[in-house]
Structure 1
Amino acid sequence: MRVLDITGPIRTGMWSYGDPLPSVEVEPIASLEAEGWKGHRLSLHTLAGTYIETADHLFADREQIADVPVNRFVNRAVVAQLKDKQPLEPITAAELIEATGADIRPGDALLVATGWERYWDDPRFITECPFFLPEAMEWVVSQNFSLLGLDIPCVQDPRNDDGVLNRLFFAEDRLLLAPLISLRGVGKGIFTLISLPLNIPGVCGTPCRAILIDQFSENMK
């Protein structure tokens, strides 16, 4: 059994979605030399690094992250390996259908690999990321996936992010997990996805640690 980490690193000065979100900072505030122990101050927000979020991100009075039963963060997951996407290249419904095949079931998690993680430390990670065409998101919604995971930071064209595709996805209280790394290394197939957020009441999402186990067990649901 392999356990595969698909979580991006959080560090000072990393990429950001911009205002009003603050910059991410990880700062040492206690040292072995001065205090005899180590400690750090974390300046984060709900969309820092790899995060998971609920429909409360866009819709009023939806479930918040601490309201979600913990078993919903454990999913049967299908990994769709698309070809390496270039900057601002769209993702089509046909690509997703071909990459998932007949393996999907209602309630699965869908993880989409585009190779975009190679830009994690590049300023273009946000501003030039690949994006879903409306037809691609409509197909995702029609398949009743419970969670969508991506190695891109946005589903919409970053040049015109009007939120329409996010609203289409979140309308039925699905979970979004993004952006991921290392999906290329896991290959294709069925996995167990575990993506555990921090238990912070009152927020729509938090950074999380996401892992894949390369076999699916019905007993884990």
Structure 2
Amino acid sequence: MRVIDLTHIIESTMPVYPGTEPPTFEPANTYEKDGFKETRLSMFTHTGTHMDPPAHLFRGRTTLDAFPPDQFIGKALVIDCTSLNEGEPITMEHLLPYGEKVEEADFLLFYLGWDERWSTEEYFGDYPCVDDSVLDYILDGNYKGIGFDVIGLDPIADVNLTRHKKLFKSKDIVNIENLCNLEKCGSELFWFSCFPLKIKDCDGSPIRAVAWFE
């Protein structure tokens, strides 16, 4: 079985969404003093490769801990969008080449090649985003989740979070951001898991996103 890690490592120097703080690591116990090592970790729930539920945008909507565990595992398909220039939209034209596989997938993962810019200022640039036609298609489907190798479903400039609100207003689905290594997954369906931490009333969580091929 071949396994591919689609997750950025969490570290103090990692990029974070503008206005949030990077994670901090503090020694809590040490080998020398306590005979074991333990670290106090402080970070936002939307740090690194992470997942948004509907409760991220709407009070009273579904939190991550309320989803059943099978929400976070299934068949995924990578949609290659690397032909796009900065600011150009992801349209239905990018889904059409994959035929019936698009409908068979539980997760659609949009590959922009943006993870190559990780830890640079360019990562916060004008990355392509899905247009209304793609978002409507997703909402009309039975997808468990969607994912991207960029820092947001919406452009950073959209403080209204228009796409997030449309996605989560009435549909139980998850949105994954800051994926990596999608270019290694090919153009066929594969097994995918993206389990979050089980935190009470959770509005978001870092995940360990993994692809595997049997």
8 Å CA contact 1:93–1:137 kept in 2: the answer is: no
1:3 is matched with which residue? Answer: 3
Pair 1:154-2:152 in alignment:
yes
Cα distance change of structure 1 residues 9 and 84 upon mapping to structure 2, 3 Å threshold: farther
Supply the distance in 2 between the matched residues of 1:81 and 1:120 (Cα, whole angstroms): 18
Supply the distance in 2 between the matched residues of 1:30 and 1:128 (Cα, whole angstroms): 43
User: How much does 1:104 deviate?
Assistant: 2.6
SS in 2 for 1:42: strand
8 Å CA contact 1:30–1:37 kept in 2: the answer is: yes
1:218 is matched with which residue? Answer: none
SS in 2 for 1:79: strand
SS in 2 for 1:90: coil
8 Å CA contact 2:55–2:61 kept in 1: the answer is: yes
TM-score using structure 2 length? 0.89
Supply the distance in 2 between the matched residues of 1:164 and 1:128 (Cα, whole angstroms): 16
Supply the distance in 1 between the matched residues of 2:26 and 2:122 (Cα, whole angstroms): 25
Supply the distance in 1 between the matched residues of 2:121 and 2:38 (Cα, whole angstroms): 29
Two-structure CA RMSD over aligned residues (Å): 2.0
Supply the distance in 2 between the matched residues of 1:212 and 1:106 (Cα, whole angstroms): 16
Letter in 2 for 1:130: P
User: How much does 1:117 deviate?
Assistant: 0.4
User: How much does 1:107 deviate?
Assistant: 6.6
Supply the distance in 1 between the matched residues of 2:33 and 2:83 (Cα, whole angstroms): 48
8 Å CA contact 2:64–2:203 kept in 1: the answer is: yes
TM-score using structure 1 length? 0.87
1:80 is matched with which residue? Answer: 79
8 Å CA contact 1:197–1:206 kept in 2: the answer is: yes
Pair 1:111-2:105 in alignment:
no
Deviation track 1:49-76 (CA, whole Å, cap 9, x = no partner) reads: 1111210111221121111111111112
1:134 is matched with which residue? Answer: 132
Pair 1:17-2:20 in alignment:
no
Supply the distance in 1 between the matched residues of 2:185 and 2:76 (Cα, whole angstroms): 12
Letter in 2 for 1:27: E
Q: Size of the alignment, in residue pairs?
A: 213
User: How much does 1:102 deviate?
Assistant: 1.7
Calculate percent identity across the aligned residue pairs: 26
Letter in 2 for 1:119: R
SS in 2 for 1:166: helix
User: How much does 1:160 deviate?
Assistant: 2.8
8 Å CA contact 1:80–1:188 kept in 2: the answer is: yes
Supply the distance in 1 between the matched residues of 2:38 and 2:25 (Cα, whole angstroms): 10
Gap regions ≥5 residues in structure 2: none
User: How much does 1:23 deviate?
Assistant: 2.5
User: How much does 1:18 deviate?
Assistant: 2.4
